Structure formats: C-alpha cells, structure tokens
Amino acid sequence: MAAAAKVFRARGFAAASLDEIAGNLGMSKGSLYNYVSSKEELLEAVVGPPAEELLSTLRGLAAMDLPASEKVRRVTRIHVSVLERTYDFAAVYLHEVAGRGLGEEWAAKDHAYVSLIEEVIASGVAEGLFAPDTDVLVSAMALIGALNWLTRWWHVEGAISASTIAERISDVFLAGLLVRSAAKEPPAPAG
Amino acid sequence: MAAAAKVFRARGFAAASLDEIAGNLGMSKGSLYNYVSSKEELLEAVVGPPAEELLSTLRGLAAMDLPASEKVRRVTRIHVSVLERTYDFAAVYLHEVAGRGLGEEWAAKDHAYVSLIEEVIASGVAEGLFAPDTDVLVSAMALIGALNWLTRWWHVEGAISASTIAERISDVFLAGLLVRSAAKEPPAPAG
C-alpha cells in the first residue's frame, strides 16, 4: 500500500503503472497480480481506509452533544490528524479522487463527508451560535477546501505542527479575520 | 488550447497524450508538432495565461489604497471571475500544477500568488482591522484552499452564481461563523 501510495502521489493515478509499483517492491508485475487484480483495486485499497476512518469518526462527532463551534474545532482536528497519520494516502485521495467524479462509490463518500460538515454548520445556525445568514453549503465547502488544500503546502515534518494548523484554521472559520469588537467592516468605496 | 485543456482535465496531465489532443482537433500528431514541441509546452500555454492574469490583477489590487477587508472581497471576486472565464484552463492549473512542485517557474508563480494574499491579510492586521493574533500564512492558505477547491464542486453553469460564491466566501473569512454579537465561543467541555 505504501509503495503504491508513493507512486500514485508522484506520478498521478492515470500515469502510475503496476510495473513501477512492483519494481519498487522488488517483485515482478506478475507477482503483484497475486495480491491485486487492477490499478483501480490498488487505488481503492490505498485511499479507502483513511476515507473510511475520517467518515466514521465524523459520524460519531456529529451525533455528540456539543456546541457547534466545538464540533467545528474537532472536525478540523480529526481531519488534520488523519492527514498527519496517512499523509501519502490522503494526498492521493485528495489529488485523484475527491470531487473528481470517478464513480458512484467515491461520489457517495464525498457526499456523506460534505453532508456531515453541513450538518455541523446547520446545527450551529439552529442553536443561534452561528450567524443566521450563514450559507451552510458554501461555508462547508470553504472549510473542506481549506482542509483539503493542506496537502499542497503543509508537510507533517514542516515548521507548523498538526495541532497548530487545526486550531488556526478553526480560528479563522469561527471568528473571521475582522476584529471581534468591529461591529462591521468599513464600507466599500464607491466605484 | 481549449482541446488541450479538455484532455488535460479529463485524463490528468501525466496520462494525456498529444495523439489524443491532435485527434480531437482532427489533425495528426505530426501536424500538432508544427505548433508545439512538447506536452509541457502545451501545458504552459494552457495554464500560463489565466495564472498570469490572476497575478497581475492581484498585484494591482494589493497596491490600491483600500481597507484590507475590501481587498479580501476583491481577491475572491477576481479569483472566481478568472475561474468563471477560464474554467477548464484554471482547473488544469489547480489539479496539476499548484503546489505540486512541478518546477521552479511554477513554484515562483505559486509563491508570488501566496505572498500577495499574505500581504493583503498582513495589512489588515497592521491597520487594526483584522484581529492582532491572526495567523497570516495559515489564513492566507485557508482562503486560497477554499477558492482553489471550487473546481471540485462548483460549476459555472450550476445553481450558484460566481458573484454569490465570491461574496459568501468573503463573508465567512471576514466575519466568521460565530454570530458577531457573541463575545466568544462557548467553552469546550472538559475531556
């Protein structure tokens, strides 16, 4: 799985070959076929487990009795933590699969994930904690985009720790950039 | 360019072939070689113009005398507007190039883009409009991630207009999810 994840990540799924993956493992393509029957099966084996882990943890979280703001913080922590532990695998999922219309099963996972985040945000609006004019879908996708973009710039071994990243992303989504004491942003100049 | 963008987007750059692009244009691969000498050159021709347009518009914006909150709104509008007009091209850039370490020239463009957004956010902190504890880098990358993820779920022909998307994304980054009258989020429960 790790060898496949590295090749998928470096080459992209479409250009990756079972030959190269087998070669990196010091085995023939024929031997690799004893374990998997196709590149698609290998992709599913690589990205299925982190995707399932993320989904099942989020399902548990959504059902908990917590303020929505705390759920948003935990969503970002769970996401970053899965990313931290399964970086190469998650990067393949995010670069190759998420939102790219690869097939019904993946679309269903994407949809379940988005729905759980929407549910958390909608519950915050319902409980009066989040602004009543919150656009639930766009806010959910903005948060998901911010989290999923991490594989393009943040590295587990880098200067910013996973826990710091998670808190800072939560901060900006919950509190916004504007100072909290500002009643509203300054008016846009005319024109 | 449009034919190349469609093939790059559908297959991914690594798996796309000049044969298929030439075929879609009803010409031979040999004829296509009269115009471009490699797939890399074609990628640059496809994604270079929208990337350059975005960068030069943002440079102009960063230099303007406007409150940082208005600059954030304009950044999202410019980004969504370039996406709207060059959807297939921008999607190829975002799926294949941005943050994927393809080479120095692309890395320089990525870096210039990120720096401009950081500059806008830092100026908001400096002028006291944005919270003093704002994490400039993480906030900039969260905004960029939210914008760049649009090609995975939002379509120009879909139910949500480009201008609505831009305003809603600005809203959540500027004001945050929490109602503005809330002094702070509720405390996290122990444990």
pLDDT, tens digit, 9 for 90 and up, residues A92-119: 777 777 766 667 777 888 889 999 999 9
Q: Nearest C-alpha of chain B: how many angstroms from A138? A: 7
Measured distance CA(B137)–CA(B140) in Å, rounded: 5
A54 or B139, which is more confident: B139
Average pLDDT over residues A48-68: 89
Domain residue ranges of chain A, discontinuous segments joined by +:
46-175
Q: Which pLDDT value is given to residue A139?
A: 97
Q: Which of residues 74-103 of A touch B (CB under 8 A)?
A: 95, 98-100
Mean pLDDT of A54-82: 93
pLDDT value at position B114?
Answer: 93
Q: Which residues of chain B have pLDDT under 50?
A: none
* CATH (residue range A46-175): 1.10.357.10
For residues A176 and A170, give the distance between their C-alpha atoms in angstroms, rounded to a whole number. Answer: 9
Burial bucket for residue B180 (CB in 10 Å: 0-12, 13-18, 19+): middle
Predicted confidence at residue A49, as pLDDT, reads 82
What percent of chain A shows pLDDT beyond 90? 41
A and B: number of Cβ contacts within 8 A: 202
Give the range among A7-11, A66-70, B76-80 with minimum mean pLDDT.
A7-11
Show the 3-state SS of chain B: CHHHHHHHHHHCCCCCCHHHHHHHCCCCHHHHCCCCCCHHHHHHHHHHHHHHHHHHHHHHHHCCCCCHHHHHHHHHHHHHHHHHHCHHHHHHHHHHHCCCCCCHHHHHHHHHHHHHHHHHHHHHHHCCCECCCCCHHHHHHHHHHHHHCHHHHCCCCCCCCHHHHHHHHHHHHHHCCECCCCCCCCCCCCC
State which of A6-20, A115-129, A145-159, B99-113 shows the largest mean pLDDT. A115-129
Residue A47, pLDDT > 90, answer no
B12 interfaces chain A, CB cutoff of 8 Å: yes
Helix H, strand E, coil C: the string for A43-66 is HHHHHHHHHHHHHHHHHHHHCCCC
Q: Please name the helix (run of DSSP H) or strand (run of DSSP E) that holds residue A154, with its range, or none.
A: none
pLDDT at A17: 85
Q: What is the structure's pLDDT at A102? A: 67
Distance between CA A78 and CA B142 in Å, rounded?
Answer: 17
Which of these, A2, A9, A45, lies nearest to A152 by C-alpha position?
Answer: A9
pLDDT for B183 equals 54
Residue of B nearest to A183 (CA): B180
A107 at B interface, C-beta within 8 A: no
Given CB atoms, is A173 within the 8 Å cutoff of chain B?
Answer: yes
Q: Residue B151 has what pLDDT?
A: 87
Whether A191 has a pLDDT exceeding 70, the answer reads no
pLDDT over 70 at A19, yes or no:
yes
Q: Which of A14, A144, A189 sits opposite B149 (nearest CB)?
A: A144
Looking at residue B66, what is its pLDDT? 95
- What are the chain B neighbours of A146 within 8 Å (beta carbons)? 141-143, 145-146, 149
Contact A83, A90 (CB under 8 A): yes
- Complex ipTM value: 0.86
Residue of A141, A172, A174, A179 for testing the chain B interface, max B β-carbons within 10 Å: A172
